[in-house]
Structure 1
Amino acid sequence: MTLRLRIDLAYEGTDFHGWARQPGLRTVQGELEAALSRVFRQDIGTVVAGRTDAGVHARHQVVHADVPAETFAALPGRRGSGRTPGEALAHKLRGALGFQGAQDLAVLSAAPAPEGFDARFSPLWREYRYRIADAAARPDPLRRRETTPVRERLDEAAMAQAARELLGLHDFLPFCKPREGSTTIRTLQRLDVSRQPDTAIEAVLRADAFCHHMVRSLIGALIRVGAGREDVTWPAMLLARGTRDHPVVVAPAQGLVLERIGYPPDEELAARAEQTRARRQAP
């Protein structure tokens, strides 16, 4: 008998070859599953809310894992330590990751998942933040690993204007790398661009889901607008054309952080997962 767990993570993506397990390469999934397998003494697989590319960071990522219920129940926690089994598991996973030398991956929490929970299909939205240091920004060496440098002075007002025209339900094929069997239709709920008090430019993007390279391609287009190489109407014009017959400018991974993921109330998780699965299937 298995038990589904929800595990919340954060990671600094610089030294990872992305989320997905790859033979011979260090990945977030590979490190996490190695730690889970060490704790449960058998191979444990994971399903993630949103796969991140090489170099992309996550302040808050969510996965689920199906584990032996008996083994989980036997974890110390109910007596003595004062920890719940979930807290005990999080503690053990942190120890396993430390043993593996994975100081750039942190387990924030672990607990039995509510009925119907699916880390990938239950979310209502994912939110990313992209940070840019242009010629007008003050360098911040403490944030260099989460900031993309740009030599030009960018016009953040023009970028914000262009961003507003991309909101809503669209086929984002012009800004996506399609995957077989999946749709590129997404609802972009938020795309705000502003210069921050520390002088860096930040873009905050929220959507029901993002297809492959969608965030970085949108940012790449907005940077071209901000640098004056394209008009503010250019990104929306590409979106309206609905084709990939133009050069896609993919911004570097370095400035991208997965900030948070929104789920519905527990009683709506199963219905949301079923709805999302149906919608994601290619026509």
Structure 2
Amino acid sequence: MSEHHPDTARLRLDLSYDGTDFHGWAAQPGQRTVQGELEKALGRIARVPSRVTVAGRTDAGVHARGQVCHLDLPRSVLATLPGRSDRAPVEALVSRLAGVLPEDVVVHVAREVPADFDARFGAQWRRYRYRISDGPAAHDPLRRDVLRHRRPLDVEAMARASAPLLGEHDFLSFCRPREGATTVRELRELRWERPGEGRADEGLIVATVVADAFCHHMVRSLVGALLGVGEGRRPESWPAEVLAARTREASTRDGAGAAPLCPPQGLTLDHVAYPPDEELAAWAARTRTLRSPLPAEGP
């Protein structure tokens, strides 16, 4: 169980942002970040320091449509937010945040949640989408969430090469490991499609990537490895060879090493899923338990 003062309310915020002009999510001195702008706005409204915990930190240039974070506010402060209006405190918080946040960050919904809710450790799975424009007919200069790629890509080959990556593996070759953290993840979906006429993202190539969690740079490395297949520079077997290598050493012309990293601008955090309220504490405790490294895989 998490320690939580009865006079404090835990709030969940659902938000979106255009990551183009941010130096990532995490607050950093001298840098414009999403966390920095959000905590600054909360401080102006609540007039108390407000620290947020996020579902997944995004890199510089990465976007979000379905980001989630939580914070704790004294109930005495929360009660003052509506002022003389008859709005609920959480509705007043969303409205007032809209007035002070920059245009590239939007908080859509605020709600009070149980004290056991943890935006980071309580998440069951996360979904990202990576969008690519691989020809002039699909290039849209007004979209900042799409990678403009110069070569045509073979979507079917990329889809076939993705299949061996599904399941639970040590994704060291696709991650920048953090000290003391595991690189074992369960990749639940890695799907490629080119939406047809009348569908959202018509003409683009869209990768949908779902996992229980992602280590640093994992999605961008998965896409980076598969771009080589889509261009015909690498065989369809190569991403699986990169996975089996379990290394941070660079790849060679004839050998597999760490996956290349694709640019950030095509990547969007799309959705984060959580269990029912009664399962929050157990799920967060399970997630905090460091998973043991998997045994070495066969050839």
Q: Same fold (TM over 0.5)?
A: yes
Deviations 1:256-280 (A, max 9, x none): 0101101111111111100000136
Unaligned 5+ runs, structure 1: none
Give the match's secondary structure for 2:290: helix
Does 1:141 pair with 2:152? no
Give the Cα–Cα distance (whole angstroms) in 2 for the partners of residues 184 and 5 of structure 1: 30
Aligned equivalent of 1:107: 107
Deviations 1:215-265 (A, max 9, x none): 000000000000011011100111112122234311100100101101111
Unaligned 5+ runs, structure 2: 1-6, 197-201, 252-258, 295-299
Paired amino acid for 2:187: L
Aligned equivalent of 1:228: 232
Aligned pairs, number:
276
Does 1:252 pair with 2:258? no
Paired amino acid for 1:215: V
Aligned equivalent of 2:178: 179
Give the Cα–Cα distance (whole angstroms) in 2 for the partners of residues 74 and 40 of structure 1: 8
Give the Cα–Cα distance (whole angstroms) in 2 for the partners of residues 281 and 253 of structure 1: 30
CA, structure 1 residues 137+218, in 2 after alignment: closer, same or farther (shift >3 Å)?
A: farther
Give the match's secondary structure for 1:218: helix
Give the Cα–Cα distance (whole angstroms) in 2 for the partners of residues 25 and 282 of structure 1: 35
Amino-acid identity (%)? 56
CA, structure 1 residues 59+172, in 2 after alignment: closer, same or farther (shift >3 Å)?
A: same
CA, structure 1 residues 280+90, in 2 after alignment: closer, same or farther (shift >3 Å)?
A: farther
Aligned equivalent of 2:52: 46
| Runs of 4+ off more than 6 Å | none
RMSD, matched Cα: 1.6
Paired amino acid for 2:262: A
Q: TM-score, normalised by structure 1?
A: 0.93
Deviations 1:80-117 (A, max 9, x none): 644211111111111121xxxx1100011112122310
Give the match's secondary structure for 1:146: coil
Paired amino acid for 2:97: L
Of stretches 119-128 and 35-44 in structure 1, the one that deviates more from structure 2 is 35-44
1:137–1:200: 8 Å Cα contact kept in structure 2? no
State the 1:142 CA deviation.
Answer: 2.9
Does 1:64 pair with 2:70? yes
State the 1:181 CA deviation.
Answer: 1.6
Aligned equivalent of 2:243: 239
Give the match's secondary structure for 1:10: strand
The correspondence of residues 1-283 of structure 1 with structure 2, limited to 5 A, is 1-76=7-82, 81-97=85-101, 102-135=102-135, 137-143=137-143, 145-197=144-196, 198-247=202-251, 248-279=259-290
1:19–1:27: 8 Å Cα contact kept in structure 2? yes
Q: TM-score, normalised by structure 2?
A: 0.88
State the 1:119 CA deviation.
Answer: 0.3
State the 1:42 CA deviation.
Answer: 1.7
Give the Cα–Cα distance (whole angstroms) in 1 for the partners of residues 184 and 63 of structure 2: 25
